[in-house]
Structure 1
Amino acid sequence: MLLAPAAALAQDCRDVSHAGNGYTVCEIDMTQADLRLFLYDDTGGLFGHFSTINAALAPSGKRLAFAMNAGMYHDDRAPVGHYLENGTEAMRVITNAGPGNFGLLPNGVFCIREGRADVIETLAFVESQPTCEFATQSGPMLVIDGELHPRFLIDSTSRYIRNGVGTSADGTRAIFVISRNAVTFHEFGSLFLEELALPNALYFDGNISRLYAPSINRNDLGFRLGPIVGLVVDAE
């Protein structure tokens, strides 16, 4: 499947290797991209799948050029942390520690604004109160101001297929990554810090991680997802 010219300019997906592990990296040019979050449709029903989003976009002459699960969710697929879609808040910011990876502080928020996207540590997000059009909170942070999360263990034995996002300092690049083999948090965070040289990066999830990238013939199937991030382009 060939990408339309605008989609090709807005994104680039490729496979990379780092420290013996494989990853698929999709870089989005936020100066050209229509990047959105998707959770519920106009009737309040759950999107859940990449195909459902594509079906909803089709009547307006649009489609997804890229998509990925984008944050942790409860059994009913409701977001665990802050979630904002088209300026409407579905879930407040959670600042306290808690169980699971989400509560492994510091965690953070992925904020999408016109022409830029930023990964922001949660307390800094609360303090700065940026005006996001879309936002999803997840955790833990992978990279925080150029440093790995302090609780990542180099000798950890916890390995999963993991996915997350990092952003450039000026917010013009959003780089989404999914591992191609099971990796530790330390290995995953090191990819963002050492290979991609990003100052801030956020963990989305592990084990359930999925990617839709037709430019590289990738369409991961499975059970219904919660929040999904997607690049919207003209259908051609």
Structure 2
Amino acid sequence: MKMKRSLLLPLLTPVLLLAGCNQEPEGQPVLRTEIGSGVAEDIPGQAPQNKADDTGAIEETEQSERASVCRDVTFEQVLLTHCTADPAIHRIVTALSGADGKPYRSLSKLASSRGADAKSVAFAVNGGMFNGEGKPIGYYVQNRNRTKELNRSDGPGNFHLMPNGVFFGTGGTWQVHTSDYFYRMIGDRPDFGTQSGPMLVIDGKLHPKIADNGPSKAIRNGVGIGTDGRAHFVIANAPLSFGVLARFYRDELKVPNALFLDGNVSALWDPATGRMDAGAALGPLIVIENRE
């Protein structure tokens, strides 16, 4: 979801547009929440996503012959889909634009652009926050090419609810860390990277400003790295609070660090099951590919 979520707004207040950080172009109206206060603003015209395309999958790609690495689970009475990427059999890349240089803005367009290569995709998800043009507002690296520097500025919304963080990796080593840790400790440019926020779990503890179960509910997703190096992508199939999503990572997956990717535009493409979420325009994408 684009530049996000204003603070301390009453329920069902009028639409409020926020300019992106560093004078980024202004985004479209979106659901904005404050994760610590329990105050939510439900902006008209931005319904929860996770609805399939009319066909359930795009015509240009065939359903994968591989078994899905995603499974449905229920946690605290909320249905989630949990997808696991294993560095032994998967690689991860970020994707933003097609050959024309224009952001894909949807998983279906990403799939169409890949043609026959789409068969190598295990799954794909939205990959961080973005401005009105679909471009990342934080650190972004694709194929070792950095197109956006680390964003450590102050500002409104969930992206700036510090600490935020970076999901990044080189080869089969994938990591999630706070942006401050990344700034201090990571010197080499990774193969891929995307910045989002806030962090959900930090060194095994919940983000200090996340309420236990605030009234703000949305379709949300995140990513966390287990102690075995596997990446855990989780997307809600029904609206849930930040607290529920964060506790799933901490208590069930037991990952030391997990990062919020987005809310209310969250989407999953799972070729093995034919799932292709559609809805609001997206920005950066994370693609998990099968190693051949």
TM surpasses 0.5: yes
Runs of at least 5 residues in structure 1 that lack an aligned partner in the other structure: none
Number of matched pairs: 230
Instruction: Give the match for residue 22 of structure 1.
Output: 79
Instruction: Give the match for residue 45 of structure 1.
Output: 102
Point out the more displaced range, 196-205 or 53-62: 53-62
Instruction: Give the match for residue 207 of structure 2.
Output: 149
Partner AA of 2:64 in structure 1: L
Q: Can you list the C-alpha shifts for 1:94-147, whole angstroms capped at 9, x where unaligned?
A: 113321110011010000210121111111011112431010000000000100
- Report if the CA contact (8 A) 1:166-1:192 is conserved: yes
List structure 1 segments (4+ residues) > 4 angstroms apart after TM superposition.
59-63
Instruction: Give the match for residue 222 of structure 2.
Output: 164
Q: Residue 198 of structure 1: which of 241, 255, 259 is its match?
A: 255
Q: State whether structure 2 residue 181 is matched by structure 1 residue 109.
A: no
TM-score, normalization by structure 1: 0.90
- Report if the CA contact (8 A) 1:54-1:63 is conserved: no
Inter-partner Cα distance in structure 1 for 2:231 and 2:282: 21
Q: State whether structure 2 residue 190 is matched by structure 1 residue 132.
A: yes
Between structures 1 and 2, the one with greater strand share: 1
Inter-partner Cα distance in structure 2 for 1:197 and 1:61: 32
Partner AA of 1:140 in structure 2: P
Instruction: Give the match for residue 182 of structure 1.
Output: 239
Partner AA of 1:228 in structure 2: L
CA distance 1:233–1:52, shift in 2 (3 Å): farther
- Aligned alpha-carbon RMSD (Å): 2.0
Q: State whether structure 2 residue 276 is matched by structure 1 residue 219.
A: yes
Task: Determine helix, strand or coil for the equivalent of 1:26.
Answer: strand
- Report if the CA contact (8 A) 2:169-2:175 is conserved: yes
In the TM superposition, residue 40 of structure 1 has moved relative to its aligned partner by 1.4
In the TM superposition, residue 221 of structure 1 has moved relative to its aligned partner by 1.2
Q: Can you list the C-alpha shifts for 1:52-82, whole angstroms capped at 9, x where unaligned?
A: 2223222557543201101000111110110
Identity %: 36
Q: Residue 264 of structure 2: which of 193, 207, 213 is its match?
A: 207
CA distance 1:74–1:169, shift in 2 (3 Å): same
Inter-partner Cα distance in structure 1 for 2:274 and 2:248: 23
Task: Determine helix, strand or coil for the equivalent of 1:47.
Answer: coil
Point out the more displaced range, 128-137 or 60-69: 60-69
